[in-house]
Structure 1
Amino acid sequence: MNSPTAKIREGNNNDLAKMKQLFTDTITHICKKDYDDVQIEAWKLGAENEIRWQKVMENQYVLIAESNGEITGFISLDQGNYIDFLFVHKDYQNQGIAFQLYQLIEHEAIKQEKTFMTADVSKTAKPFFEKMGFSIVREQSVPVRGVELTNYKMEKKLL
């Protein structure tokens, strides 16, 4: 965590295009060590689900990390305790951005008096979530556009 603190703000609809681009770029470049090309391509297609992304912006607490006017990461909290998205730009990995975003989201969950947090976590993100105190509830095989992807249902007790 040797970078200066990223500027964090709440997300809005104007961020959607850049969020989706960051989502696909991160999956393409960062997740390739954990998933094969067919899995990566199926997963990236999630960026095309406009209704899903619109619902994220309308119904979830979304935080954006920025550096020099560029979105360097984002996180979303659904129903006060489910982390739906956590992605950091491929060029800003290992600089503490995910940690900053996560800390703010956990604070929000505590503020909402939630007693635990959950997430469905990729193989790539599992070590980060373990560092944040999450434990694996179960390994899952999730169908994404006809392709099976392994991820983990993880949970962390709060308070």
Structure 2
Amino acid sequence: MIIRKGNLNDLTEMKRLFTDSITSVCKDDYNSSQINAWKSGAENEERWLLIMETQLVIIASIHGQIVGFCTLETGNYIDLLFVHKDFQRQGIALKMYIFMEQEATIRKEKILTADVSKTARPFFEKMGFRIITEQTINVKGVHLINYKMEKKLN
């Protein structure tokens, strides 16, 4: 597996991975209307271009195929962390997370934060994050529960 910096050429595949992951990996934690509202975020081209322009974007690839991506905003906020539906539980999220935590440490950040889905919560807890608050967010008129989480860095 290779971890590299993402670029605009990755965007189409990143958005496909985003929607496929939400559709298949999160189906036990969210109902179909919640999943459809959440994955509709892939259609917000302006937001995706802003992510590519302003955030640290890393790509995990195996044999040239993107199997995961993660973004770090303003040095200490993990905005997106997604692993391809066919590559779950292979340590890909862990490797990307470790990369981002090291990057935050290099930047002398004291805390990492993330808004985390029900599906991703166990992973983030395993990484040492704690829940600050449960949130109900409104996406296109549909309510979804997620968690504001943080981890203090050494």
TM superposition score normalised by structure 1: 0.96
Partner of residue 151, structure 1: 146
Partner of residue 88, structure 2: 93
- Mapped partners of 2:108, 2:11: distance in 1: 29
Q: CA deviation at 1:90?
A: 0.3
CA RMSD of aligned residues (A): 0.3
SS in 2 for 1:76: strand
Number of residue pairs aligned between Structure 1 and Structure 2: 154
Matched, 1:107 2:102: yes
Partner of residue 15, structure 1: 10
Partner of residue 81, structure 1: 76
Q: Which runs of 5+ in 1 are unaligned?
A: 1-5
Partner of residue 125, structure 2: 130
- Mapped partners of 2:18, 2:59: distance in 1: 13
User: Runs of 4+ in structure 1 displaced over 6 angstroms?
Assistant: none
SS in 1 for 2:147: strand
- Mapped partners of 1:24, 1:68: distance in 2: 22
- Mapped partners of 2:65, 2:141: distance in 1: 34
- Mapped partners of 2:64, 2:4: distance in 1: 12
- Indicate the percent of aligned positions where both proteins have the same amino acid: 60
Which residue, 53, 57, 68 being the options, matches 2:48?
A: 53
Partner of residue 64, structure 2: 69
- Mapped partners of 2:46, 2:121: distance in 1: 27
- Mapped partners of 2:139, 2:79: distance in 1: 15
- Mapped partners of 1:31, 1:38: distance in 2: 12
- Mapped partners of 2:75, 2:139: distance in 1: 25
- Mapped partners of 2:37, 2:46: distance in 1: 17
- Mapped partners of 1:146, 1:12: distance in 2: 32
- Mapped partners of 1:23, 1:88: distance in 2: 8
- Mapped partners of 1:147, 1:112: distance in 2: 37
Partner of residue 3, structure 1: none
Q: Which runs of 5+ in 2 are unaligned?
A: none
